[in-house]
Amino acid sequence: MKIKDAEIIALMQDPRTLEKGIRVLMDAYQSRLYWHIRRIIVDADLAQDTLQETFIKAYQNFHQFKNDSQLYTWLYRIATNEALQQINKLKKMQKTDEDPEYYMQNLVADNTEGDAEEIQIFLQKAIQSLPEKQKLVFMMRYYDDLPYEEISQIVDMSVGTLKTNYHYAKQKIEEYIKENYER
Amino acid sequence: MENFDLGNLERKNIYKVPENLFESIQENVLGGVKDFDLEKLERKNIYKVPENMFETIQDRVLSGVQSFDLDKLERKNIYKIPEGVFETVQENVLNEIKAEKKAPIFKLNWGYAIAASVALIFGVTFVYNSNSPVNGDSVNRYANNREVPKKESQIAYETLASDLTSVENANQTVESQMNIKPVVSQVVNNNSENQNKKSVKAANDVHMNEYLETLTNSEIAELANNSSQDVYLDLYN
């Protein structure tokens, strides 16, 4: 991945190969970023728009990318910010209507594959019941196996805070599943 | 048995009677109701119990929820993914990027935008005028303007004006050339006393044609490309 990153960075730093660079970048990162965004947003159309916006922002602001951080960390940061913005918009729209958490849990049920295991659906619902920070840390650690140091750069939290948040998130999810899931 | 006399037969009951029959009858009648003692009642469960109920419960408790381990759960994505999502995203991103690349042409400052609007008005006026009889003169003036040396600011202004109206002009010159020629030749034929004056016009017309001929294909293509400017300028007006 690092060789690929070096290639992408080199292509994107040269205006003549910038377009080729963004193509290689999209091929390399679209799937990881999509699922990261999708787990936050859940809604398919909104996740697609957010992924698109993430790539456009990456293209427009590539000059701000500093080589001292990992490319994926920088991309995750953009994607996370974009996704949170969308979620906040959604929450504002939902304000007068139903409880946002309840709304998200319904969204989970509507968006899952027909053959998804029940325990997996409960896990997603449990994730949606978490506070924002815990949710982000949990998802990046549990699904993407990102090191705390990298997550720290993505969400601007100290490693210690992140560890505590992950611990609480895991505990809450297990409690949620024990309470709600019956075999 | 000939001497049997029923009258002499001893009257007796021969049936067996349960022991304490009368006592228990009396007890039942009198004491059963009066002396009911809950304490003496046998404690028993009379409800039916499902078979293997306790085994099932124990199984559930031990193998089910209690042993749930998040770390052992398979990490998978369970959301439905729309078909062709990545192709669509890539296409949209690349389109956006291409649109942005062209954008700097339109990132004129407002001064230029206003100048361009004025130029556009001139251009439009020019189109209307091209239908009038003096249209030949307009073309000549255009051609002359390109040739006569001017002040730098004037040249800059006129270059901008001509660039922005180039498409109208380009279309127009083709059209006007077709129109002008008969007009000019007619004038030359019919007004022989003005022949000198008109021949000057004809000469100018030739200049215009020469000017157009000097343009290479790529220059004409460039002029044609600039036509998209008008669309955006219209938007900003």
Interface with A, mutate which of B57, B79, B95 (most A CBs under 10 A)? B79
Strand-pairing partners, residue B79, are: A112
Rg for chain B, CA atoms, rounded: 58
Residue B43, domain member (yes or no)? no
Out of A35, A52, A119, name the one closest to residue B77 (CB): A35
- The answer to whether the beta carbons of residues B188 and B199 sit under 8 Å apart is yes
How far, in Å, CA of A129 to CA of A101, rounded? Answer: 6
**What residue ranges do the domains of chain A occupy?**
1-97, 98-183
Query: Given CB atoms, is B99 within the 8 Å cutoff of chain A?
Result: no
- For residue A137, give the 3-state DSSP assignment: helix
Q: Taking CA atoms, what residue in B is nearest to A117?
A: B78
The ipTM value here is 0.87
- A1-97 fold: Rna Polymerase Sigma Factor; Chain: A (1.10.1740)
* Arch. (CATH architecture) of A98-183: Orthogonal Bundle (1.10)
Strand-pairing partners, residue A112, are: B79
Residue B206, domain member (yes or no)? yes
Residue B40, domain member (yes or no)? no
How far, in Å, CA of B96 to CA of B103, rounded? Answer: 10
Q: Over its length of 237 residues, how does chain B's per-residue pLDDT go in tens digits?
A: 667 788 888 888 888 888 888 888 877 777 655 667 788 888 888 888 888 888 877 776 666 555 678 888 889 899 999 999 999 999 999 999 888 877 655 555 677 777 778 888 877 777 777 665 444 443 444 444 444 455 666 767 766 666 665 544 444 444 444 444 444 444 444 444 444 444 455 555 666 666 666 766 666 666 655 554 444 444 444
Domains contained in chain B, number: 1
* Closest CA–CA distance from residue A50 to any residue of chain B (Å): 10
A/B interface, count of CB pairs below 8 Å: 87
pTM: 0.55
Chain B CB contacts of A174 under 8 Å are 68, 70
Residue B93, domain member (yes or no)? no
Query: Cβ–Cβ of B60/A183 closer than 8 Å?
Result: yes
Q: What is the pLDDT of residue B184?
A: 41
Query: Given CB atoms, is A23 within the 8 Å cutoff of chain B?
Result: yes
